[in-house]
């Protein structure tokens, strides 16, 4: 294995991704500050608008200052933002912090995949990208299982505590980044001397590839926008469904030596239940991500990118008629995001050059962020007028219809893809 020490440190860095501490209670926390769903989607719109405006510049900076330094800047900024969120209490403060949050992820967006791919390229092992990236994500998700449970518990005490816990772990990630080195492939590419005009030209050529154009629309625009809404509305839809179904039971698990473990399932302990729900999603997603290379070889990228959007869209659409289906729709809708992101990373990285790679990958993230803004604003207004469930169900219908339209226009994935290089 190429640079086994570097890959091991990458895995350690992934273990410090602490998003699952606050994810189970993130929007409940915002709502607890006296804000509304409209506020939430406005904050998210600001986040994505910042992504739109900042992705290419930060990707360009990442090409100039190096992969490691870009990851470091982004990670430190994220940690500082998490501390700020734990202390925020006004709409203005949240708005500013969401902008800073987006900038932090802008610096990491594309750079992480670029670092992994180019580290493997040093020893001509880019075919291992899916496996390494998938296992790294599996480690992050597995660590997130415990973080979700702890975050749900901490949220039951004080909704700000999960953000502070996440800030500590993110800070540890910054220390790990300091131990990484730049790939030789990057150093030899001349990216550190890439001019702005040249970066724009490289990006234009990459995005104009016939083998990428429909994929960009299919994955970075449609699928990413709808699954982002799943992320936003998972908590309120979960809570609303729990209340609508009137679930109020106590699960009793007897111990062999006597005694029993009791878990109350009711709307009153929604924070703890959400922590368990996110933990279950992470566990399933981690298992899939760990063997993502097997999934890629057995199912194939073509089949995966046809089935995943249609399955997610169909489940989201169906929960409008069958409320209990919401739990399955939310589980699958968020559970497939990370495995799909890893497979998309392999497909795109095989088709772009090292020169300006971070800029190109950031440009694709920019396209995704630009598209999700109208989805967010529309769904936020609909949520306040009707319900979050109705908004998410409508988004599922859009995903189904849009996916079928794109598939009829042009297959988004050309196979075989693994090991191919693209122009």
pLDDT band at 281; cut points 50, 70, 90: confident
More confident residue, 35 or 272: 35
Contacting residues for 412 by C-beta, under 8 A, at least 6 apart: 214, 215, 217, 218, 219, 305, 406
- The mean pLDDT of the chain is 79
What string of DSSP letters covers 14-39? HHT--HHHHGGGHHHHHHHTT--HHH
Residue 322 in this model has a pLDDT that exceeds 60: yes
Rounded Cα distance, 107 and 68, in Å: 10
pLDDT > 90 in the chain, percent: 18
Query: Interhelix angle for 325-335 vs 224-245, to 10°?
Result: 150
Average pLDDT on 359-373 reads 69
pLDDT band at 333; cut points 50, 70, 90: very high
What is the predicted pLDDT for the residue at 261? 45
- What are the backbone dihedrals phi and psi of residue 181, each rounded to the nearest 5 degrees, phi first? -120, 160
What is the predicted pLDDT for the residue at 359? 64
Give residue-wise pLDDT tens across range 379-393. 777 877 888 888 889
Which residues, in sequence order, are bridge partners of residue 264? 250
- Residues 418/296, Cβ–Cβ less than 8 Å: yes
What is the predicted pLDDT for the residue at 89? 85
pLDDT band at 1; cut points 50, 70, 90: very low
Whole-model pTM: value is 0.65
What is the predicted pLDDT for the residue at 258? 56
More confident residue, 247 or 401: 401
pLDDT > 70 in the chain, percent: 78
* 4-409 is a CATH 1.20.1250.20 domain: yes
Query: How many other C-beta atoms are found inside a 10 Å radius of the C-beta of residue 110?
Result: 30
Rounded Cα distance, 327 and 319, in Å: 9
Average pLDDT on 148-170 reads 88
* 360's tokens: 């190109």
What is the predicted pLDDT for the residue at 83? 95
Residue 232 in this model has a pLDDT that exceeds 70: yes
Rounded Cα distance, 49 and 35, in Å: 20
Domain boundaries, the chain: 4-409
* Three-class DSSP category at 252: strand
User: CA 315: distance to chain centroid?
Assistant: 20
What is the predicted pLDDT for the residue at 423? 35
What is the predicted pLDDT for the residue at 204? 61
What is the predicted pLDDT for the residue at 223? 92
What is the predicted pLDDT for the residue at 251? 43
What is the predicted pLDDT for the residue at 78? 94
Average pLDDT on 149-176 reads 89
pLDDT band at 298; cut points 50, 70, 90: confident
Rounded Cα distance, 345 and 348, in Å: 5
pLDDT band at 405; cut points 50, 70, 90: very high
pLDDT band at 228; cut points 50, 70, 90: confident
């Amino acid at each position: 294995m190429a640079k086994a020490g570097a890959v091991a440190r990458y895995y350690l860095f992934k273990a410090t991704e602490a998003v699952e501490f606050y994810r189970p209670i993130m929007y409940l926390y915002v709502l607890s500050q006296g804000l509304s769903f409209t506020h939430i989607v406005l904050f998210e719109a600001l986040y994505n608008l910042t992504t739109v405006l900042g992705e290419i510049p930060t990707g360009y900076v990442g090409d100039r200052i190096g992969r490691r330094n870009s990851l470091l800047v982004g990670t430190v900024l994220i940690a500082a933002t998490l501390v700020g969120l734990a202390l925020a209490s006004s709409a203005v403060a949240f708005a500013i912090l969401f902008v800073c949050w987006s900038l932090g992820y802008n610096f990491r967006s594309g750079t992480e995949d670029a670092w992994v791919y180019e580290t493997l390229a040093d020893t001509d092992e880019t075919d291992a990208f899916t496996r390494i990236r998938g296992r790294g994500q599996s480690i992050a998700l597995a660590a997130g299982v415990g973080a979700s449970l702890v975050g749900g518990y901490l949220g039951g005490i004080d909704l700000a505590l999960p953000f502070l816990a996440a800030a500590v772990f993110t800070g540890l990630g910054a220390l790990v980044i300091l131990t990484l080195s730049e790939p030789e492939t990057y150093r030899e590419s001349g990216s550190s001397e890439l001019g702005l005009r040249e970066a724009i030209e490289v990006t234009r050529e990459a995005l104009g590839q016939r083998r990428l154009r429909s994929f960009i629309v299919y994955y970075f625009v449609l699928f990413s926008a709808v699954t982002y809404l799943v992320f936003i509305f998972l908590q309120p839809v979960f809570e609303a469904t729990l209340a609508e179904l009137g679930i109020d039971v106590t699960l009793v698990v007897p111990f062999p030596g006597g005694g029993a473990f009791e878990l109350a399932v009711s709307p009153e302990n929604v924070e703890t239940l959400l922590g368990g729900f996110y933990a279950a999603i992470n566990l399933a997603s981690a298992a899939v991500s760990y063997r993502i290379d097997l999934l890629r070889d057995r199912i194939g990228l073509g089949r995966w990118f046809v089935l995943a959007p249609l399955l997610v869209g169909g489940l989201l659409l169906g929960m409008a008629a069958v409320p209990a289906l919401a739990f399955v729709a939310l589980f699958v809708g968020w559970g497939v995001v990370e495995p799909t992101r890893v497979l998309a990373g392999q497909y795109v990285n095989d088709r772009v050059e090292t020169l300006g790679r971070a800029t190109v990958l950031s440009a694709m993230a920019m396209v995704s962020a630009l598209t999700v803004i109208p989805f967010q604003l529309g769904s936020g207004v609909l949520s306040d007028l009707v319900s979050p469930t109705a908004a998410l169900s409508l988004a599922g219908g859009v995903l189904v219809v849009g996916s079928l339209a794109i598939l009829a226009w042009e297959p988004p994935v050309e196979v075989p893809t693994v090991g191919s290089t693209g122009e």
